[in-house]
Structures are given as C-alpha cells and as structure tokens.
C-alpha cells in the first residue's frame, strides 16, 4: 500500500502573526516557519503504518515556494520515503490545492491520502474534503483513530458532540486531528539521511490545471483589541465585581 501525505509550510504556531502596515497580509519576512502541526500527525500516522507493515511507501507532497523544500526534508527526516514539491509563488486557495493533489494522485495512485484537518495559517479546513470530492473517493475528517482492514478504513472522528465512528472504502482521504498520535522528533542521523532521499520538483504551470483564485483579499486587519482588565485581590472582590460591575452572575 502507498500513502500520500500533505505537508504545508506555515508560520510557527508559537509565533504571533503580525498584520502588515499596508493591510495586504501577514508579515512573514524572517518569521519562523514550520510544518503545519496537523501534518506532523499525518506524517507520523503514515510512518507508523509503514512500520506496522501495512504500508510500503510514504510519499510527502507540498505545494508552495522553493522554501517548502525544508518542510519536505523534515518529513523525509521523520521517515517519509520520498517527496514531491510542486513549485508556485502564488498563494493558492484550497480548491486549487485540491486540484494539484488530484493530479499527483493520478500519477502516484496511492491507496490513502492523509492531510491535516486544517492549516493553522488560513484555518480553512477544506483541502481534504475537496480532494476526496474531486477524486470521487470517500472522506473521513478530523480523525483521532484510524484502523485499516479488508479494503476499508475504520475512523474515529472528533465531532462537536463527542466521538463518531465511520467506516469508509479505500482508497480514501483522511484528514487528521491532533490527538491521532504523538509525532516523533527527527534524529540527527535521520536529518542527514533525509538530504539524500529523493525529492522531485515540478512547476505548477506544467501540470496544466486551472488554479485561478476565486477570491480576492481586499485587506487584512488587526482584530479589535480588548480593553485592559484589572487584577482583583480576593475571591470576595471578584464575586462583587461580577455581580455589581459586569452584572454577569
């Protein structure tokens, strides 16, 4: 079995995003970038499936600027066998990203595609669902448990009311949640080895897809700031303020 894993380069989750003064977007100059945390879970799951003997090959895919190679090398250091980088300087919408994934799926014929449930920069939460729609495959989103057997996948999903279980035919697209597993760290020898693992690059233009954006970002603004609060000295003062000042209890 072969698994294709989506790996997106994003702003480090520990770093607070800063809006550019001209309101055109987020200032990413010299910002610390990293693999989307949900994608770390996706890579981890793929590697565990290979270690368990269920999967033979793990291929990592990223779509983005040349720097995304770093993120793919990280996936290779964690244990992916090879990587594909589709180069573009444009910021693509999830529909376009899903079309690129579909083109790669048609070349690679994986049995399973694993993506993060959302990318922490744009928080779209769309790519996996869109890809499965374009492929005519089933989808299993927000997975916190994945079991493969007899050509199907049994998936536990984190939903608002608790945990839902569904069973989907393979091939399938699964979008993963953070509690699926605990991602490992790359060891230094593996980081060195990753430099020699195969990484194929192609230009987005060569895929001949319609990836035009359907949305224009008019401006990016700071969220409204909260007024400064006060430190209360005691529980009694807190209760008094909640009753008489905020009037919420």
Partner 1 sequence: MSILVIAEHDNASLVGATLNTVTAAQQIGGDIDLLIAGNGCAAAAQAAAQVAGVNRVLLADDASLEGQLAENVANLVVSLAGNYTHVLTAATTFGKNFMPRAAALLDMSQISEISEVISADTFVRPVYAGNAMAKVQSSDSIKLITVRTTKFDAAAETGGSAAVEAVAVAADSGLSRFVGLAASESERVELTSASIVISGGRGMQNGENFHMLDSIADKLGAAVGASRAAVDAGFVPNDYQVGQTGKVIAPDLYIAVGISGAIQHLAGMKDSKTIVAINKDSEAPIFQVADYGLVADLFEAVPELDKAL
User: Could you say whether residue 141 binds partner 1 (CB under 8 A)?
Assistant: yes
Strand 33-35 and strand 9-11: the pairing is: antiparallel
Residues 21-80 that bind ligand FAD (CB under 6 A): 25-26, 36-39, 61-64
The backbone torsions φ and ψ at residue 74, rounded to the nearest 5 degrees and listed phi first, read -65, -45
HSE of 156 in the Cβ direction (CA atoms, 13 Å)?
Answer: 10
Residues 112-131 that bind ligand FAD (CB under 6 A): 115-116, 118-127
Q: Which does 161 bind (CB under 5 to 8 A by kind): partner 1, ligand FAD, none?
A: partner 1
Q: Which residues pair with 152 in a beta bridge?
A: 149, 169
**Residue 71 or 139: which CB sits closer to partner 1?**
139
User: Could you say whether residue 17 binds ligand FAD (CB under 6 A)?
Assistant: no
User: Could you say whether residue 92 binds ligand FAD (CB under 6 A)?
Assistant: yes
User: Could you say whether residue 87 binds partner 1 (CB under 8 A)?
Assistant: no
Spatial CB neighbours of 194, under 8 Å, sequence gap ≥ 6: 73, 74, 76, 77, 186
Q: Is 64 helix (H, G, I), strand (E, B) or coil?
A: strand
Minimum distance, C-beta of residue 73 to partner 1, in the bound complex (Å): 25
The backbone torsions φ and ψ at residue 36, rounded to the nearest 5 degrees and listed phi first, read -50, 125
Binding track over 100-129 against partner 1, x by CB under 8 A: -----------------xx-xxxxxxxx-x
Whether cis (ω within 30° of 0) applies to the bond prior to 171 is: yes
Q: Which stretch binds partner 1 (CB under 8 A): 45-53, 67-75, 76-84, 138-146?
A: 138-146
Under rule CB under 6 A, how many of the chain's residues touch ligand FAD?
34
Which has the closest alpha carbon to 200: 76, 50, 36?
A: 76
Among 91, 149, 205, 232, binds partner 1 (CB under 8 A): 232
User: Could you say whether residue 164 binds partner 1 (CB under 8 A)?
Assistant: yes
Q: Which residues pair with 159 in a beta bridge?
A: 162
Minimum distance, C-beta of residue 101 to partner 1, in the bound complex (Å): 11
User: Could you say whether residue 222 binds partner 1 (CB under 8 A)?
Assistant: yes
**Cβ contact 18:39 at 8 Å:** no
Q: Is 17 helix (H, G, I), strand (E, B) or coil?
A: coil
Chain residues in the site for ligand FAD (CB under 6 A): 6-8, 13, 25-26, 36-39, 61-64, 91-94, 97, 115-116, 118-127, 215, 217, 220
């Amino acid at each position: 079995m072969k698994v294709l894993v989506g790996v997106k380069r994003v702003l480090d989750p520990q770093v607070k995003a800063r809006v550019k003064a001209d309101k055109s977007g987020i200032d990413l100059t010299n910002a610390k970038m990293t693999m989307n945390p949900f994608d770390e879970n996706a890579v981890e799951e793929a590697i565990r499936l290979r270690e368990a003997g269920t999967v033979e090959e793990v291929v990592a895919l990223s779509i983005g600027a040349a720097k995304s190679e770093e993120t793919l090398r990280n996936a290779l250091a964690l244990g992916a066998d090879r990587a594909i980088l589709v180069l573009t300087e444009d910021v693509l919408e999830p529909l376009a990203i899903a079309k690129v994934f579909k083109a790669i799926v048609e070349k690679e014929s994986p049995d399973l595609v694993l993506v993060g449930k959302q990318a922490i920069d744009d928080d779209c939460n769309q790519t996996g669902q869109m890809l499965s729609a374009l492929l005519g495959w089933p989808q299993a989103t927000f997975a916190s448990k994945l079991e493969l057997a007899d050509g199907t996948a049994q998936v536990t999903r984190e939903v608002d009311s608790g945990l839902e279980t569904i069973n989907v035919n393979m091939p399938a697209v699964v979008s993963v949640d953070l509690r699926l597993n605990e991602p490992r760290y790359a060891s230094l020898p593996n980081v060195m080895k990753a430099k020699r693992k195969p990484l194929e690059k192609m230009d987005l233009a060569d895929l001949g897809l319609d990836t035009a954006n359907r949305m224009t970002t008019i401006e990016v603004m700071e969220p409204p700031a909260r007024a400064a609060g006060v430190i209360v000295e005691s529980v009694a003062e807190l209760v008094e303020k909640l009753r008489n000042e905020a009037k919420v209890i």
